Structure 1
């Protein structure tokens, strides 16, 4: 059977059913629409989680899953093995599965008698396959033969699928054209996108991707003489080349968009990197247009002698449909004689129905039941009475990132003393670009936010010379070593010169890792120590190179501070000490290190944002202006900045100004209690690692060893198992053990009468969390497409990403160590993000009405929404209904 996809009607609207001439093709519009099937891919230095199906949210999750299952045989639902494992662990309540199944059954039109539908679907619901003895029985073989003789091809009438010409050739038994085409494109993308890793750069690269390829392809020895000759005459312009290739390949106008989509999905990593770079440089889809022009021109040059292609044999192989027929015989109670007595049209309907249920409906029902179970557990956890009551005033207030790794730290910290914690996006509402003393520049804000200011960290002239001299020495050694590896002669001398020393280092580090790692840790801490620095917070009219103002005006300072404090509900009752905590990870030998840093800071550490915000809050002119906005910060309250090292669960102090007497006492108490907190959180986190068993010795030392051990492929789980985002007051969740699986954003609806803060939280932090959630989801359910394989066998290529071997796609997702406990056991639970908002019903209704993007995410199943009405104490789930949005009571009483 040909693989195919059932497309919703609106997925092909607006495409005229006529052939196109070269002049009539709107290439930019065509490429823009086709690019929705891929997502931008950030380079390793600034790697952040990305939503793989970001451009397809106008379709429902189910429609996108259908589409990928048909065109590329990619299953976007968890496998039945995952569902059964969740059932075994008690993470999936079968009562919810039965409830979902009943609801779906009642909504089905009466084309097929309902008792027949229920009998068949119950068998399919619990069994992935028809028993082999049934499929291979003599009775089924006879029925299959008679069906083939009758030329039964039910899917031909129900499905529409566009295949590339090279894929059609492969299906007809020709050579592996698609793989050859991928190999060529990987080679050219590596050359063009290389960031100084290759010793010899791509000639003519400054002229653009397409122009450089066009000048070099005619000398490519991996192409035949005839193929090079065809490419010699391709147009000089990428748009014209793409038009010509589409027409030369004979792609009908109605299929052009789908045709380009298939070529983009073939290598989503390289295409995604080109999309990111094109957008970054303000070129829209320019690089994708050039990529597609090259790819389709190559495709035409390779298969031109075989054109035009007759799509012979489409639908002739229907063997994959016969398990659906066997399902009707086995579970539906049909005999072969009775089946053959049905009119062909009714047989087609029944076969298509059985296939669709098994491929799309069954996994959807299981996933929704799994999600329902986890929703119920979270809400029951939140609604449980607190075990401990703490009415004492907080001596210290700490502001953490919403990151799920902050939750265990906050929980243990609050239980160790009179401490109160808040959660917000880790860039602290500051859309800044940072320039460090060593010249490093990065956007320290979420990928969906454009920087509006530049903040520079400066050293005194004397300190600057010493610090930069150390940095320069380190970089010089690294640069020289790299150049020697790449040189023609020095690459042969380098092993002789460095081999004995590096070999000895390797033996010592592997033989006595604890001592060596401890020494490295002490040396690195001493070597990387940065002198006192100052920040350019005041705007003096200066403009940086990318046209960003240096620093902030007074109004901007006040607005950024007041907006964040109001978003969190921290507008009064300030403690003597307020700690602003950024966060970073600490791992060794990890290409995806930036993925474990702060996603809200563009894949970098959040220390500078924390310091900027703390310093702004300490400015006298800012505090005076805040009074006019209803925020009075006491004179003896001092803001300091720290960095939460998530791998080892420690706080590192990065900005501690002169403290008031009350703040000094609070700081001393906090530092004393932090030792216990660090130990307890590490003990909790280490217990989750595979093979941990009973952790002996010091958990803090063990966490530091794992972070520095270059052979350790899993120093921390990162954000694995995330599944929910709670927006509300801390008292809602302070008594809950959320297992480091929930994003926590502080919010008090009473401070937000217009709903502006809630809208900002949903537009920013919730979107970033959804991207993180869906990247972990995709890397778990389809690791061969959206993951990056085994971390131990990854190859860093072109300085921008990783591959498996030297000829794979640029891998866009997470390694299996981030989502798997072992080769056969999943650690991450692939669930779509659940957003829980503590606010009155009218706040949610207003949010959905005014934010069409968020409404679309909820309506199309890209995330789930539950609200808690603080006035009535009612739990309500929001979802689509014929009249718009309908609030329904979440819990079923018989399941509580």
Structure 2
């Protein structure tokens, strides 16, 4: 058997190595839980807790509050202000039952008066800062975040300045080389031993993890993982940026030499190691004592949140009551007696719902459909050799590339666009803005006067160079075949439910938002188009639908016959001005064009009433608002979104959903195999959930998942994100002005209610086969209802199965 002492030493060595490796592995696991955030020009909404959807939402809420102080529920004051206003006793009573709470109504009301614990689990840097008055120096945590954030901005904006990009430690080594030459850190934190400690750090991240595991007194893997979450939280904005870069590489199946996110955590951990080595014995003991309180702290948070979850459920019930009552108030309408003369396919965006109502109200021969705004086209748009924009959801990778001819007109337009874009980018930084004012002086007065007298929104880069010209559609550098184009067109027609009874005139309506001086402009554009205008997708799809060869193949292969007299038109819905315009050379007949004018006027009136200052009824009021460089609320975007409905339009046509509902056309009778339903529940439903949770998170956790005050934003690294002020971590999520009207919250933090008009067994089949869908439904990230419009029935699906909603809502069943 050998010498027992040697065996014992080998066993101890193996155990030690295993423990050391586990720290690095735990670090990778913590990084894997970070949700991506896209650059400003391609901004799309994301559920910031997306990578933790395998856990129930209340479990995640306990963890976030315990470790980070990040709330997933509103403060008690918010619910108190809505008690016996929006939240009625019957809502609270049902919420108690659904949450399994034993608390009485009086106890729940009293719980709103209890002071919530504000303590969080500390990093070593925080412990080092505690109990010390700093009049002339910065706190460690502040300086660490500032220094690391500035470094990340340099890394993203000037990658060519860094060597070793082929190393798995590229980011870590670049940081180490820079920080070792930064003499200012010692002065800022008031500690002369920093340079010495930086020199002692290993030039290998795995060796760093070994030193951290050896020095820090955290032996429980749960404590280690929790501590890593705490330290990464300091720089969560940049972590989210690197998570998106990782996401993009994985989506493109690109080779991955190094992972920035894992190294970012290693850098932050390196600072923790330095702080530990510089800490006194007393500070070290305080760190140890604090982390021994992890489980008691978690139990306290669990108890505090139980009552708040009842209030949150009651708030959601107050909305769901109205929705359920509306859905069962009348049977589904039969088909219109008159054949459609005009059909319009809109994006499912909640801002399309008022416009669809307005257009349908003009005449009974008008019919609208709802479909994801990229219209099923997995494309990117090549504007120039160096600039390509994705035109599809972030969940998907483009399969085709669309371009337009490089003639003299196109080149001139692009040149003008780049010059204008360079000017605007130069004004986005404080230093650049002052410099340009100093140089241009009086020469810019005319430009400012022109904008005041003749307001015009600022065009997004690339959008203004789109022309009425044939699109080239390529796949892997080769022109797409008629077979491929016909499949794209047929998939789009099936997805939007337009497979028969075509009108003579059909609009394919993309959407965009026109604003000025708004770094977050992309967040108002089409989320289904990757934060871009949907104009390109609309134009390309219309080209396919009007192509005779494509029509012939659609008819012969897919059984969808488009009448020869049917003409498709590209159109664009400007959500800021609530205006639909037909694009291209073809124009609608005068009568139909007039219907569009009247619908625009009706939708604009509703838009004005929804805005906080309720601008005048002038048809230029919304334009002036969109063109104003000082307007912080050009429109409300998708604020107050609360539900998505998959059903035939006849089932929802007579309802006013007040711009709170995503409406996607779906006819279960035309989908016997459930293929379309699977696509809907794995793509549009997930995208709507992301949007819903971005608004939710920006409201309940504004410090972590909101971007703060728009007036203080400065664009970072050529558009990767914004600082609030001139430093600190990168701010992600929505600004407060996108959620708050200046006096009270405009948005309501409600989880998405998904309503599907399909058989329960078809829905269950998707849930069983799609893990993501199952996690969202059964872990409480959204609500799922099954709707029978003809029978006026509703059922809800939870982890426990199906239950009738009729008795719960006291509705007819």
The question of a shared fold, defined as TM-score above 0.5 by the shorter chain, is answered with yes
- Give the one of 56, 59, 77 matched to 1:60: 56
With normalisation by structure 1, the TM-score equals: 0.80
CA distance in 1, matches of 2:795, 2:459: 55
Q: Is the 8 A contact 2:172 2:264 kept in 1?
A: yes
Structure 1 pair 601/29, CA: closer, same or farther in 2 (3 Å)? Answer: farther
Q: Is the 8 A contact 2:122 2:287 kept in 1?
A: no
Pairs within 5 Å for 1:557-706: 557-627=485-555, 628-656=557-585, 667-692=589-614, 695-698=615-618, 700-706=619-625
CA distance in 2, matches of 1:893, 1:271: 43
For the aligned residue pairs, the C-alpha RMSD in angstroms reads: 3.6
Deviation at 1:82, TM superposition (A): 2.4
The answer to whether the aligner puts 1:44 opposite 2:40 as a matched pair is: yes
The answer to whether the aligner puts 1:713 opposite 2:632 as a matched pair is: yes
Cα deviation, 1:291-315, whole Å, max 9, x if unaligned, reads: 1221111222233132772247847
The answer to whether the aligner puts 1:888 opposite 2:794 as a matched pair is: no
* Corresponding residue number in structure 1 for 2:193: 226
Structure 1 pair 168/386, CA: closer, same or farther in 2 (3 Å)? Answer: same
* Corresponding residue number in structure 1 for 2:317: 372
**Greater mean deviation of Cα atoms: 30-39 or 705-714:** 30-39
* Corresponding residue number in structure 1 for 2:657: 738
CA distance in 1, matches of 2:732, 2:478: 34
CA distance in 2, matches of 1:523, 1:53: 33
Structure 1 pair 877/423, CA: closer, same or farther in 2 (3 Å)? Answer: same
- Give the one of 211, 215, 218 matched to 1:248: 215
Cα deviation, 1:37-83, whole Å, max 9, x if unaligned, reads: 43111111111111110111111111111111111122211223322
CA distance in 1, matches of 2:36, 2:441: 40
The answer to whether the aligner puts 1:433 opposite 2:380 as a matched pair is: yes
Deviation at 1:685, TM superposition (A): 0.9
CA distance in 2, matches of 1:388, 1:729: 10
SS in 1 for 2:285: coil
Structure 1 pair 533/364, CA: closer, same or farther in 2 (3 Å)? Answer: same
CA distance in 2, matches of 1:216, 1:169: 24
* Corresponding residue number in structure 2 for 1:534: 470
The answer to whether the aligner puts 1:298 opposite 2:245 as a matched pair is: no
The answer to whether the aligner puts 1:215 opposite 2:189 as a matched pair is: no
SS in 2 for 1:209: helix
SS in 1 for 2:572: strand
Query: Structure 2 stretches of 5 or more lacking a match?
Result: 1-11, 187-191
* Corresponding residue number in structure 2 for 1:310: 285
The answer to whether the aligner puts 1:93 opposite 2:88 as a matched pair is: yes
Structure 1 pair 504/705, CA: closer, same or farther in 2 (3 Å)? Answer: same
Q: Is the 8 A contact 1:22 1:244 kept in 2?
A: no
Structure 1 pair 432/101, CA: closer, same or farther in 2 (3 Å)? Answer: same
Q: Is the 8 A contact 1:640 1:656 kept in 2?
A: no
The answer to whether the aligner puts 1:274 opposite 2:242 as a matched pair is: yes
The count of aligned residue pairs is 774
Q: Is the 8 A contact 1:387 1:735 kept in 2?
A: no
SS in 2 for 1:673: helix
* Corresponding residue number in structure 1 for 2:345: 399
Cα deviation, 1:855-879, whole Å, max 9, x if unaligned, reads: 1111111010001135644210111
Cα deviation, 1:157-208, whole Å, max 9, x if unaligned, reads: xxx9964322344456697433332222222222212269xxxx85548573
Q: Is the 8 A contact 1:572 1:632 kept in 2?
A: yes
Deviation at 1:371, TM superposition (A): 1.4
Q: Is the 8 A contact 2:321 2:809 kept in 1?
A: no
With normalisation by structure 2, the TM-score equals: 0.87
- Give the one of 753, 756, 778 matched to 2:672: 753
Pairs within 5 Å for 1:82-121: 82-87=78-83, 89-90=85-86, 92-102=87-97, 104=99, 107=100, 118=103
CA distance in 1, matches of 2:764, 2:717: 48
* Corresponding residue number in structure 1 for 2:124: 165
SS in 1 for 2:470: strand
CA distance in 2, matches of 1:383, 1:637: 36
Q: Is the 8 A contact 1:840 1:870 kept in 2?
A: no
Structure 1 pair 85/413, CA: closer, same or farther in 2 (3 Å)? Answer: farther
Cα deviation, 1:199-254, whole Å, max 9, x if unaligned, reads: xx855485732221122221111333532222223332333333433433344361
**Greater mean deviation of Cα atoms: 554-563 or 415-424:** 554-563
CA distance in 1, matches of 2:420, 2:298: 64
SS in 2 for 1:533: coil
* Corresponding residue number in structure 1 for 2:369: 422
Q: Is the 8 A contact 2:554 2:560 kept in 1?
A: yes
* Corresponding residue number in structure 2 for 1:456: 403
Deviation at 1:26, TM superposition (A): 5.3
Deviation at 1:393, TM superposition (A): 1.6
CA distance in 2, matches of 1:237, 1:118: 54
Q: Is the 8 A contact 1:568 1:748 kept in 2?
A: no
In terms of Rg, which structure is larger? Answer: 1
Deviation at 1:894, TM superposition (A): 4.2
Deviation at 1:419, TM superposition (A): 1.0
Structure 1 pair 179/530, CA: closer, same or farther in 2 (3 Å)? Answer: closer
